[in-house]
Amino acid sequence: MAVSCAVPTAPAWPETGEASWVARSLRGRRMASGAPYDPRALTAAHRTLPLGSKVRVTRVDTGRSVIVTVTDRGPWADGRVIDVSEAAADALGFRGRGTAPVRLSLP
């Protein structure tokens, strides 16, 4: 009897989907990287990218982009590809609306 194991696969690049942002209320909590969350830093949470990796997040409806460092795992909401810090959401211009369509690519 053969045993198969499901192996997680890396996302297709560039990856597209919805981004959301991490609330300020998490300030100081330890991220998966061990660093405390700083809403003023350009950081993000992604399910599979290696911690410490850099990724360009481009808002597809405006063309605005920012480079963030992956410091945590997530997002855990269905349909989201990345959670960005408050500073990154400000740079992308979607903090007020909560989510935005984005494309993730190498910087």
**What does pTM read for this prediction?**
0.86
Q: Answer with the residue of higher pLDDT: 8 or 36.
A: 36
Residue-wise pLDDT tens digits, 31-45: 999 999 999 999 999
How is the chain split into domains, by residue range?
A: 15-105
Provide, rounded to the nearest whole percent, the portion of the chain with pLDDT above 90: 76
State mean pLDDT over 54-78: 96
Asked whether residue 72 carries a pLDDT value surpassing 70, the answer given is yes
State mean pLDDT over 74-94: 95
**What fold, for 15-105?**
Barwin-like endoglucanases (2.40.40)
pLDDT interval class at 65 (50, 70, 90): very high
Distance, in Å, from the CA atom of 43 to the CA atom of 97, rounded to the nearest integer, reads 19
Q: Are 21 and 41 in contact (CB under 8 A)?
A: no
- What totals of helices (H) and strands (E) does the chain contain, helices first? 1, 6
- Sign of the alpha-carbon dihedral angle for 81, 83, 88, 92: positive
What pLDDT score was predicted for residue 70? 97
Distance, in Å, from the CA atom of 70 to the CA atom of 11, rounded to the nearest integer, reads 15
